Structure 1
Amino acid sequence: MKRVKAAITNYPLVFLTVVVGVTGLVLLATPAHDYAARLVGGYALAIAAVEAVGMVRQLIRGHAGLDLLAVTAIVSAVLVGESWAALVVVLMLTGGTALEDYAQNRSKRELTALLHKAPQQGTRLLTDDPGAGLDAAASEVVPADKIAHGDLLLVRPGEVVPVDAVLLAEHAVFDESSLTGESLPVERRAGEKVSSGAVNGAAAVVVRAVAAARDSEYQQIVRLVEQAANSKAPVVRLADRYALPFTVVSLFIAGIAWAVSGEAVRFAEVLVVATPCPLLIAAPVAFLGGMSRAAHSGLIVKGGGTLEQLARVRSAAFDKTGTLTTGHPELVRILPAPGFTADRVLQLAASAEVYSSHVLASSVVTVAKATDALPLLDIAHAEELATNGVMAEFHEPGDPPATRVIRVGKPTWIAQSAPDMTIADLNPGELAIYTALDDEYAGVIIMRDRIRPDAAQAIADLRRLGVERTVIVTGDVAATAGPIAEAAGIDEVHASCHPADKVQLVGDISPRPVLMAGDGLNDAPVLAAADIGFAMGARGSTAASESADVVNRYDNLSGLPRAVRIGQDTVRIALQSIWVGIAISVGLMLVAAFGYLPALIGAWLQEGVDLIAILGALRAMGPRSERRKPADPVSRSAGYSAPATSSGSSDRSTRARA
């Protein structure tokens, strides 16, 4: 009953059309049957008048609206005495919105599913004692947006972590599949970051909030999804390309049929099968279906225009670290400064890097966690400085306790506070992470990144999809970037690039459109400047994700050719649906022109054409088998195993650290 009431409220004209039709049928069975045609015809003309107002407004704006055909069909059908055929056309017009909403809701299921999973509330402790977490009287349930930085939160078994937090319990296991696509549970230890959206395992744990809900990682994903779900694809332009020709052809066939036969009814019979729903509905449904298919694969596409661009991409540019490489470098060596040990340098760096979203940060924490004798320091305050590094404060025991400051980042920034810093000698392919304690240089951690196992296959797939030119634009030196380009099969390398250099290079690349793939804050300008910006991971830099047109939520490069393929499939299916609808309509118009298709039957056949076009457009959601299986989790066997301490993608390039 509630659904019926909602349908009447949302689509009153559909309900009114049905009521008028039923009333007309009842009148046909009574002595007042002459009034049935008048009722139906008058109602149809009233609807035509309403549609005509919208049509005129469109014409004033310079758009040849497809409503012209529907209005002309209704009026001509009533004038020649085919009022019931006119009512069917009215039903098509008024019911088209409901049908479109149904198709759009169906095609947006994957997008809206992410929104429904957003954390809504959390259990906040009313004490500063983490040990009181299991005391129900010492806690309260609050909305997620009321949780503040520093609050202690109790996360029960199976509950979702409401905001980004640091684990206070000694050990816990979380399901992060909704964030990373990694299907296996991830282990966390005390002091490590736990992302919002992660699902707690079998034991209740206490965490400390390090971000408000609006700044937490899952909410960043939600904002991106909302932007994609609410975007208006330029499918109206796609339909408009055919609106004027289709209208002219329809009126021409109808006019010739009238002129040759001498019967005005032929004009109406032709136009009732020329109604434009395939053009108005099929294309939007196809594009929303393509966006839903992309979301199922972990790709957030921010609009139908992006799918059109993806379908035509001819060049591709790539950042290196975290995009073509895994972003999880291996430790090569640690060079401590005088007065520091290698373990102390690693402990300082890892304690600060817990609070960094840089691609290298998680690797440093992973190495430290593997050394059980190196507990992470209890950080009182941390701040990440874009393109420079991270600064963290901790209290060192003493009388009185001393506040110490750790800085981890690129050498020029570290040298500002630690003038005694020395530059390390690096071998090709190595990168350096510099560390200082207060105003004293502590040492440097040297690591080596490796190419993603799927990089070469992704580049080869892009070539098969029509990409003619591939380029690396990176802040790294050529000696580091060159071997990566050779291994991946990329055509050319532009090394030692600043962010402004990247924007200039991508702007000059041809042929176009050009796709740029990156993952860090340094990449945000070039992602925005490219025809298509592709961000590797919504768990990384907010700036990179928000400036990109496509965000890959999962840590794999195979999403790049998949996005291009989805774009090509979507545009192809949208055009097929439009052309199938046009072809069937033209065929029916020709049959009607020769007098073999009565207006009422033709009007109902046109409803069938609409359904065929919409069902065809829904193919953009992908094969049924593809929609049934899980959303392409990151393959452990392929080398994408998410580190237990992964904090996401980067927000500074390798150059910012080396």
Structure 2
Amino acid sequence: MRRIIDLCKRVPLLPITIICALPIALLWNFRPWGHSLGSLDPSLGQYLIIALVAYTVIDTIIGMVDDLRHGHVGVDILAVIAILSTVAVGEYWAAWTVVLMVWSGEAIEEYAQSKAESNLTALIKAAPQTAHITTLPGVGAESGKTQSGEDGFHKTASATGGTADSADTSDSASAAASNVSSDSNASVASSDNMHFRTVPVEEVKLDDVLTVLPGETVPVDGVLMSGQATLDLSNINGEPVPREVFAGARVMSGAVNGSTAFTMRATQLSHDSQYQRILELVSSAQNSRATVVKTADILAVPFTVISLVIACVAWGVSGVPTRFAQVLVLATPCPLLIAAPVAYMAGTGRLAKAGILIKAQEVLENLGRVSHIFFDKTGTLTVKQPQVVRVDLLPDAGADIPVHATAMGMVATGAEHAGVGVEAGAAHARIDKDHILMLAGVVETYSVHILSKGIVKAGAAALDRLHDRYDKGNRNCAQPATDPGHRRGDYPVVKNIHEDAGKGISGTVNGLNISVGRFAYVTQAQVDAGLQPQSATPLDFFPDSRFGGLAPDEMATYVAVNGKLAARIVMKDIPRPNAKESLQRLRGLGVERLTMVTGDKEPSARIIADEVGITDVHAELLPEDKVNTVRSAAQDKVAVQPWWDRIIQKLVGESTTRPVSMMVGDGVNDAPVLAAADIGMAMTDGTTTAASESAQVVIMNDDIACVPKAIAIARRTKRVMLQAVVAGLSLAIVGMVCAAFNLIPAVVGAFLQEAIDVVSILWALTALLDRE
């Protein structure tokens, strides 16, 4: 009921026309002035119809002029002529019916458009409008950035290029953030003790400390200061499960906070934040019109001419002017003027619901014609970061390390850290692979190197396995015996982090000096101290001589413990779990030409290509080589042309034999190639903004399965649009021919015309349905 009321508010002439039916009927024969006007003697009820007709005609003409000013073809002239002709021949009830159909058509168009844009509108409505700026003394942009909490955070988060006592600094950051967060919660409970002020989101400045209350939308991009937070990212990347983040993590505008208030530091202004980039894409898509929709507008002109010809012939042959009106009340260009754009807007919304944003509806049309797809390898066909596949230990790794030093949650090797004595002759641990991964993963948490995330992920899994081993009775870690207060969630104590860019990173973990990085970097201390085997040769300090060679697709990082080389962590690109299946689906859609373009060496590229099912591989390419390879696809010919493209080509002479190439990459270092292709598709996880600058299509949920899904949605959208248009126009022409032979009265024809509109528009809306 509320929707009906809202619709009537947007189209007020619809309820007015309906309500007027009663006084029109009651006053149909009422002529207080008598019959002084002769044959042209409308009654008072008929004058009400004339008034409705006059208003409708004027409003329609104004709308046509406005359409022309905005570059759209205004062909509502059929409605204007139909209404005037029915009045001219004295078919007043038919005129009222046509007026009713005009305004009901307006209401149907409003409903269809809002329904088609529903997914896009939901994104826009979710945009943050206000922000809570923390007003505690010494906190925020006005404090000079000297407060311990924020300063501590900077040390912890940027522990590169210098040293950082992460144990101390992270504690201080958490403490400061917790204080702010608790004060924020207090301010919610008591309006007399407010510790933030609410401002429009546009007024947030860089480094402002913001409070985000439970259930609120994060207003701008920033960094989390509180200990942890739970964020719903479904508006950003469609991720259905809320994500838990911790102090120092990036928080994005558009994410919805969970049940606990948190504090964050603004790192972007409102107009530069992630959600604003998404809204720009949405707005661009809403305001654009696909070529096929523009073509539909143009086709409405010859349809208007055909309708007028049929009406004139019917009048001329029969000699009855009423036939002219009977034909025109059935002439409806709505399948062209409404159904076509509604279908494309519905398709755009369907893509958005699937986590795929496009810059313009033109892209949606071209997506359905893609014939050649180029894939970047790393981060596109493979997972974003190389993954750990194995750990190679040296035989004497960890032989001189006390067992207590390997404890996961302890402070380390002696009484000064663990709080208990270490007996003389205490057992020594032989560090295993999980210990190496755990220690390396903890240190790599503070690195910005491309390999760090894969090691961090493997280290976290190793830490869980070590905990499980202890829980099952394995006492090699000797953890509770020396640390009775240990909790499973305790994190190793980290100090003195230092990263040498491009070489490696080192730090102290539970009292052990850990170095992770290049072979020369982690063995430098060993070389400097002369700690090499008595029988050592120069080859002993080359990695292959110590561990053996690597496969073409493998890479390695090395780990030293207390200055002594201990292990090699082997990593490699691994295909996305659903990459092969997604490529098979593309072939099922008829896209047979699939190519990998990469700067990697041929052997490693071939390994990934074979695993995902790509035979066309271009490896060892510089960025300009990739661009040239993609551009060369323009010389290809389309082998199979869809029937709907052949129809459009016949109607408007538009050539659809030119191939459409698409490049799929991560949107950052692939920017030149994304721009060179006919369609650039960037795969992101919703956390990058560079993609929107270089790509026409942005996948927000980092799922390669969205590539075939996008093409399937685009093709179905175009198919539905053409079905709605062809069906609507065919029914209209059949109806006009019948009316020309006096088989359909004017009043009945007006209702049939509205039925044709409803059928075509509702069919266009089926583009919203998930049937790919």
TM interval, short-chain normalised? 0.7 to 0.9
Q: Distance in 2 between matches of 1:251 and 1:243?
A: 12
Q: Decide which of 149, 171, 179 is 1:132's aligned counterpart.
A: 179
Residue 304 in structure 1 maps to residue 395 in structure 2: no
Task: Say if 1:89 and 1:377 are closer, same or farther in 2 by CA, change over 3 A.
Answer: farther
Q: Distance in 2 between matches of 1:433 and 1:426?
A: 12
Conserved? CA contact 1:350–1:376, under 8 Å: no
Conserved? CA contact 1:70–1:276, under 8 Å: no
Q: Distance in 2 between matches of 1:568 and 1:613?
A: 18
SS in 2 for 1:542: coil
Q: 1:78 maps to which residue?
A: 87
Higher deviation after alignment, 454-463 or 229-238:
229-238
Q: Decide which of 212, 218, 221 is 2:269's aligned counterpart.
A: 212
Q: 2:114 maps to which residue?
A: 105
Q: List aligned pairs for 1:526-545, cutoff 5 A.
A: 526-537=673-684, 539-545=686-692
Q: List aligned pairs for 1:418-497, cutoff 5 A.
A: 427-430=551-554, 447-497=571-621
Q: Distance in 1 between matches of 2:558 and 2:761?
A: 58
Letter in 2 for 1:239: A
Task: Say if 1:270 and 1:499 are closer, same or farther in 2 by CA, change over 3 A.
Answer: same
- Give the drift of 1:3: 8.4
Conserved? CA contact 1:161–1:199, under 8 Å: yes
- Give the drift of 1:602: 0.7
- Give the drift of 1:325: 0.9
Q: TM (normalized to structure 2)?
A: 0.65
Q: 2:329 maps to which residue?
A: 272
Q: 2:304 maps to which residue?
A: 247
The Cα offsets for residues 171-190 of structure 1, whole Å up to 9 and x where unpaired, read as: 55444444444444444344
SS in 2 for 1:497: coil
Letter in 1 for 2:304: T
Q: List aligned pairs for 1:119-518, cutoff 5 A.
A: 119-125=128-134, 126=136, 127=139, 128=147, 129-133=176-180, 134-135=182-183, 136=186, 137=193, 139-143=195-199, 144-201=201-258, 203-234=260-291, 236-240=293-297, 242-331=299-388, 350-353=445-448, 362-363=453-454, 365-367=456-458, 372-373=491-492, 375=494, 427-430=551-554, 447-509=571-633, 510=636, 511=638, 512-518=659-665
Q: 1:385 maps to which residue?
A: none
Q: Distance in 2 between matches of 1:245 and 1:46?
A: 27
Conserved? CA contact 2:437–2:455, under 8 Å: no
Q: Distance in 2 between matches of 1:265 and 1:181?
A: 57
Conserved? CA contact 1:41–1:84, under 8 Å: no
Letter in 2 for 1:28: W
Letter in 2 for 1:139: H
Conserved? CA contact 1:478–1:496, under 8 Å: yes
Q: Distance in 2 between matches of 1:228 and 1:349?
A: 41
- Give the drift of 1:12: 5.4
Q: Distance in 1 between matches of 2:735 and 2:279?
A: 46
Greater RCO, 1 or 2 (C-alpha within 8 Å, sep 6+): 1
| Rg larger for | 2
The Cα offsets for residues 245-287 of structure 1, whole Å up to 9 and x where unpaired, read as: 4223323322332232221211211111012222211111111
Conserved? CA contact 2:367–2:714, under 8 Å: yes
Q: Distance in 2 between matches of 1:377 and 1:79?
A: 92
Task: Say if 1:27 and 1:471 are closer, same or farther in 2 by CA, change over 3 A.
Answer: same
Task: Say if 1:56 and 1:119 are closer, same or farther in 2 by CA, change over 3 A.
Answer: closer
Q: 1:89 maps to which residue?
A: 98
- Give the drift of 1:196: 3.8
Task: Say if 1:83 and 1:170 are closer, same or farther in 2 by CA, change over 3 A.
Answer: closer
Conserved? CA contact 1:77–1:83, under 8 Å: yes
Letter in 2 for 1:278: P
Q: 1:559 maps to which residue?
A: 706
Task: Say if 1:285 and 1:164 are closer, same or farther in 2 by CA, change over 3 A.
Answer: same
Conserved? CA contact 1:428–1:479, under 8 Å: yes
The Cα offsets for residues 183-222 of structure 1, whole Å up to 9 and x where unpaired, read as: 4444434433344444445555444443334433344333
Q: Decide which of 548, 567, 578 is 2:725's aligned counterpart.
A: 578
Task: Say if 1:367 and 1:66 are closer, same or farther in 2 by CA, change over 3 A.
Answer: same
Letter in 2 for 1:225: V
Task: Say if 1:10 and 1:481 are closer, same or farther in 2 by CA, change over 3 A.
Answer: same
- What percentage of aligned pairs have identical amino acids? 42
Task: Say if 1:592 and 1:482 are closer, same or farther in 2 by CA, change over 3 A.
Answer: same
Q: 2:418 maps to which residue?
A: none
Q: Distance in 1 between matches of 2:730 and 2:51?
A: 32
Conserved? CA contact 1:347–1:376, under 8 Å: no
Letter in 2 for 1:454: N
- Give the drift of 1:620: 0.8
Letter in 1 for 2:612: A
Q: 2:402 maps to which residue?
A: none
Conserved? CA contact 1:351–1:377, under 8 Å: no
- RMSD (Å), alpha carbons: 4.4
Aligned length: 581
Conserved? CA contact 2:335–2:728, under 8 Å: yes
Conserved? CA contact 1:268–1:599, under 8 Å: yes
Letter in 1 for 2:676: A
Task: Say if 1:60 and 1:219 are closer, same or farther in 2 by CA, change over 3 A.
Answer: closer
Q: 1:598 maps to which residue?
A: 745
Q: Unaligned stretches of 5+ in structure 2?
A: 33-41, 140-146, 148-175, 187-192, 393-435, 464-490, 509-516, 519-541, 560-567, 639-658
- Give the drift of 1:78: 2.6
The Cα offsets for residues 567-614 of structure 1, whole Å up to 9 and x where unpaired, read as: 111111111111111121112112211112111221121111111111
Task: Say if 1:227 and 1:62 are closer, same or farther in 2 by CA, change over 3 A.
Answer: closer
Q: 2:415 maps to which residue?
A: none
- Give the drift of 1:473: 1.7
SS in 1 for 2:330: coil
Letter in 2 for 1:247: T
Q: 2:523 maps to which residue?
A: none
Letter in 1 for 2:692: S
Conserved? CA contact 1:343–1:374, under 8 Å: no
SS in 2 for 1:322: helix
Q: Distance in 2 between matches of 1:63 and 1:258?
A: 31
- Give the drift of 1:618: 1.1
Q: Distance in 2 between matches of 1:199 and 1:124?
A: 17
Q: Distance in 2 between matches of 1:530 and 1:287?
A: 23
Letter in 2 for 1:492: D
- Give the drift of 1:362: 4.0
Q: Decide which of 106, 116, 122 is 2:125's aligned counterpart.
A: 116
